[in-house]
Structure 1
Amino acid sequence: MPLFKICLACLMLLLTGCASQYSISESEVEDYLNNEMHYEVSQGNQVFGLQLKLNDMEVELGHKPNTISVTAITKMAVKNPFKSIAADMETTFEAEPWYDVETKSIFLKKLDLVSVKSEPANIEQMLKPITPQLMMFLRTFLESQPVYVLDTKDSNQALMASMTKAIEVERGKIVIKF
């Protein structure tokens, strides 16, 4: 009987050691965002209007403690009777991730806008009046959508999802904590 308990303890340590090493890479988060997260807004009428479409997203994990950086390319068109504007905007947000046990998902909170760049570059001055509204749209969207969902159809991720209590961001990866 003592030998059985020792073997069981060793097996549990081995399994715990393997499972505690599970992590999600930057490229996995980017792939999820670019394949699963779609954002398009169209507001206004024929004379005045704003259209936004979120395209490519890049992720940097852990460049600051427990921080995710998301850079998104947004195609934007503004209609008005004086001058219509079309531009690509590159916005970078930094945020704190959190794990929702019920949905097995990672969300962002406390999004801070780090930078905004536009192409063509000279359009930034014209965009200043609508930049706060654009940032509100993006912030609301990014805070309400998961940036990654553990796949419960995959046996490894299903096991991780059932045991995950918290996450931690390290350089280049999100580490699953049990």
Structure 2
Amino acid sequence: MRVLTLLLVTLGLGGCAASYSVTETELEGYLNNALRKEQRAELNPGLSATMTLSDIDVTIGDEAERVAIRTRSSVKVKTPLIPLRAELAFTFSAKPWYDSDDHSVYLKDVALSEVSASPEELEQLLIPLSREAMQVVKLYLENQPVYQLDQQGWKEDLLRQFGRELKVSPGQLEFVLKP
């Protein structure tokens, strides 16, 4: 009976115009809302910084089984003499995975691949801040879902019952149905 139900589910989803997937745009929207938080850090005694992530860009599937995320961050550094302003650009990647128990997509194995600062003269000062900021981002992404299935709709209901994993394809994350 379960095999028959799965066959009907597969035919039902296969007969739709598109399979159920999460696009780059959907992930960007979530991450822009979730990560646009101000972070504060002490760099050295007498130096503190405030950073806000913005302009998040997501690319799915360029690397095998990974999602690439690029973001810019405006940074304000308070020094004893004058405040400084700078921008940091981060590029990191992560592996998406689907938790069938809470019907959510998470990112794990978050790895920082590139950091740059503007103006370049502040790069050495800002590198410790960028590492600390990435630890916060990594902790957040590995423990908070980046996407949750909607609680309404027949497709989502079928995915909650039979969705077991994600397939990373160029431009989207596709749900894989299994009995």
Task: Note the C-alpha offset of 1:150.
Answer: 1.6
Task: Note the C-alpha offset of 1:36.
Answer: 4.2
- Which residue, 24, 27, 30 being the options, matches 2:28? 30
CA displacement 1:102-151 (0-9 Å, x = unmatched):
22211111111111122333321332343322322222223222222222
Q: Secondary structure at the match of 1:165?
A: strand
Which TM-score applies when normalising by structure 2? 0.79
1:14 is matched with: 11
Q: 1:98 to 1:50 in 2, by over 3 A?
A: same
Q: 1:154 to 1:121 in 2, by over 3 A?
A: farther
1:169 is matched with: 168
Task: Note the C-alpha offset of 1:37.
Answer: 4.1
1:76 is matched with: 75
Q: 1:18 to 1:151 in 2, by over 3 A?
A: same
Matched residue count: 170
- Aligned residues of 2:39 and 2:133 also touching (Cα < 8 A): no
Q: 1:34 to 1:155 in 2, by over 3 A?
A: farther
Q: Which runs of 4+ in 1 moved over 6 A?
A: none
Instruction: List alignment gaps of at least 5 residues for structure 2.
Output: none
Q: Secondary structure at the match of 2:76?
A: strand
Identity fraction in percent: 30
Max Rg structure: 1
Q: 1:137 to 1:11 in 2, by over 3 A?
A: closer
Instruction: List alignment gaps of at least 5 residues for structure 1.
Output: 1-7
Whole-angstrom distance in 1 between the partners of 2:105 and 2:10: 27
1:49 aligns with 2:40: no
1:113 aligns with 2:91: no
CA displacement 1:6-45 (0-9 Å, x = unmatched):
xx9985552253479321111121122223444322345x
Give the aligned CA root-mean-square deviation in angstroms. Answer: 2.8
Task: Note the C-alpha offset of 1:161.
Answer: 2.8
Q: Secondary structure at the match of 2:113?
A: strand
Q: 1:10 to 1:97 in 2, by over 3 A?
A: closer
